Amino acid sequence: MEILPDDLQSYLNDHCDPEPEALQFINRETYLKVLKPNMLSGHYQGRVLSLLSKMMQPKRILEIGTFTGYATICLAEGLTEDGIIHTIEVNRELEEMLNQHFSLTSVEKKIRPHFGPAEQVIAGLSAEMFDIVFIDADKKNNLLYFDLIFDKVRSGGLIIIDNVLWKGKVYGDEKDADTESFRKLNDRIAVDTKVEKLILPVRDGILIIRKK
């Protein structure tokens, strides 16, 4: 889902770094073979995630919601030499595709895929502290995931949550459960004094949170 007009989005795509060849392939494969391919981060958002990661130079990243691995690879581009990204996907049927996609990149050895319910996997990563957490999974549980990972993020670390503008519905009159869930998330983070925060109108909206 793109919030911005198509001509503006095309201009933005043309004036950021080009989409790496492996990610172009993953983009095409996702649209050809996977249901709901619009869940893919895509070129512009992918470059935003990559740049944020490179600016942070993280040693540990957690991603909740792997899908076909596009954002995983973008985030992994900024990892330190010995850095690791743990990525969680509930749909085991994507495992073969993910292995193929990761093998196309130079960051394959830095990616640790986990399959299963996010709450269980996060509990198993109790010894880890993260520099970046990217939340892009089942939307109704965004606040749950935020609460589960908050103490696992170092001071100065980033929590990034996707789709927070929810097709523009959060600032409209819609009252459906998903829209109300995003409003609750955004409103709670807005008044949280333990963090600094802003929403970027990138694609479907990404909430950038810096832990104080």
- Rounded mean pLDDT, 59-78: 98
Specify whether the CB–CB gap between 8 and 210 falls below 8 A. no
CATH number, position 186: 3.40.50.150
- Locate the DSSP E strands across 77-129: 84-89, 111-115
Segment 165-185, tens digit of pLDDT: 999 999 999 999 999 999 999
On whether residue 179 sits in a domain, the answer given is yes
DSSP state of 1: -
Which residue has tokens 């490179």? 54
- Tell me which residue range forms the domain holding 98: 6-211
Specify whether the CB–CB gap between 122 and 88 falls below 8 A. yes
| Phi, psi (rounded to 5 degrees) for 105 | -115, 165
Which stretches within 125-176 are classed as H helix? Answer: 142-149
CA distance 93 to 72: 17
On whether residue 78 sits in a domain, the answer given is yes
For residue 161, name the pLDDT band (cuts at 50, 70, 90): very high
Number of structural domains (the chain) is 1
On whether residue 1 sits in a domain, the answer given is no
On whether residue 98 sits in a domain, the answer given is yes
